[in-house]
A and B are shown apart, each in its own frame.
Chain A
Amino acid sequence: MNILGVQLLLLGFALFMVYILYLHWRKHEASNLMFVGWIVVWTIFVFFAMFPRTLEPLIKDLFIVRVMDLGTIVAFMILAYLTIENNIRIKKYEDQVEKLVRKVALKNRSGGK
């Protein structure tokens, strides 16, 4: 019963994420390739959520006790990667914005008498 609850939760989350992705794709904020790519990712996610036993050979090789533990480890790894990636991108955009704002300020300087 518990497992079914977790599976339902994961399925619901995956469907919600696909819906969010669909909204962005419809507004042309996500490309076709990005949309299809993420659909594949969430399909794999749903597959492993529904059939966790398919991962059992892998968890034995990795000396991990439960599939849930593997999921947690992988999730943390993905989150850490995304955090670093986002930080680098934000810093890059901040630098670009700063340079742009400075350029405009220097161009539009106003003088006193």
Chain B
Amino acid sequence: MKTIIVIPSYNEGERLINTVKDVMANTKNEILVIDDGSKARGYKKINKRLGKLKGVRVLRHFINLGKGAAMKTGAEAAWESGAEAVIFLDADGQHNPKHLERFEKELKNNEIVFGYRELNEKMPWVRKTGNIFAANLIKILFGIKKKDLLSGYLGFRKSVYPLIEWKSPRYGIETEMATKIGKNKLSFSEIKIDTIYVDKYKGVSILDAMKILTKIPIWYFEK
């Protein structure tokens, strides 16, 4: 099964290069980097270096749209390239590429595979509380029990894409995807992953989390 690894990126610079190299060391699959409108100077430098790497392609949004939109571009580019499955991981190095092999194996038997982190002391408390609250809300409204609602380390097959295709252009994609899985009664598997929290100021802010929470009831009533 042809699988493409998609890495959405925004102003990650050197971290992106390191992540791509780590991914290359852990998979033979093609890598697709979606630059989501990073600053022009930094992008040119990074793109030049990525261009020298074998099996790495780069697509660029000329303006910043958000992680969800970049992931969507990645998925659509992958399908255009003949891929049957995609695996997403973050560009900042928080997702360990050593798990890619397991994702690839799981995707052979499951249409959707999510990475999950143990809610341990390493996770910032705001994230932990938000994750638990949202997970319970999703469980009540959509009947889906996920161990980690906010993990962006995930993969799925092309066959389920029309059923889980998300609208969120920024954060909240993983949660929206979970609601669609629940609504369509799709099955999925989960793989335990280890996560490194690279930056406190990056990722989902409290405001983003609030927006995601307010959207959950909207997704419930959406067709």
Contacts and interface: CB of A to CB of B under 8 A. Distances in A.
Interface in B52-105: 52-63, 65, 69, 72-73, 76-77, 80
Contacts of A94: 169
A17 interface: no
A27 interface: no
A97 interface: yes
B195 interface: no
A72 interface: no
Contact of B50 (A101, A104, A109, A112): A112
Given A97-B63, A101-B65, A104-B62, A110 B51 contact: yes
B119 to A, nearest CB: 33
B53 A113 contact: yes
Given A94-B169, A111-B57, A112-B56, A105 B51 contact: no
Nearest to B167: A95
A98 B65 contact: yes
B73 A112 contact: no
Contact of A102 (B53, B58, B72): B72
B80 A106 contact: yes
Given A106-B73, A106-B77, A106-B80, A98 B169 contact: yes
B170 to A, nearest CB: 11
Interface string B30-68: 000010000000000001001111111111111101000
Contacts of B54: 112-113
Given A108-B60, A109-B77, A110-B57, A102 B69 contact: yes
Contacts of A109: 57-59, 77
B73 A105 contact: yes
B51 A112 contact: yes
Contacts, number: 58
A84 to B, nearest CB: 15
Contacts of A105: 34, 59-62, 73, 77
Interface in A59-113: 94, 97-98, 101-102, 104-106, 108-113
Contacts of B60: 105, 108, 110
Contacts of A106: 59, 73, 76-77, 80
A84 B93 CA distance: 40
Nearest to B64: A101
A18 to B, nearest CB: 35
A101 B60 CA distance: 9
The winner among A97, A106, A110, A112 for most chain B CB atoms within 10 A is A112
Given A101-B62, A102-B61, A106-B80, A112 B69 contact: no
Interface of A: 94, 97-98, 101-102, 104-106, 108-113
Given A105-B62, A106-B59, 20 more contacts: A97-B63, A98-B69, A101-B61, A101-B62, A101-B63, A105-B60, A105-B61, A105-B73, A106-B73, A106-B77, A106-B80, A109-B59, A109-B77, A110-B58, A110-B59, A110-B60, A112-B50, A112-B52, A112-B55, A113-B54
20 contacts: A101-B63, A101-B65, A102-B73, A102-B76, A105-B59, A105-B61, A105-B73, A106-B77, A108-B60, A109-B57, A109-B59, A110-B51, A110-B60, A112-B51, A112-B52, A112-B53, A112-B56, A112-B58, A113-B51, A113-B55
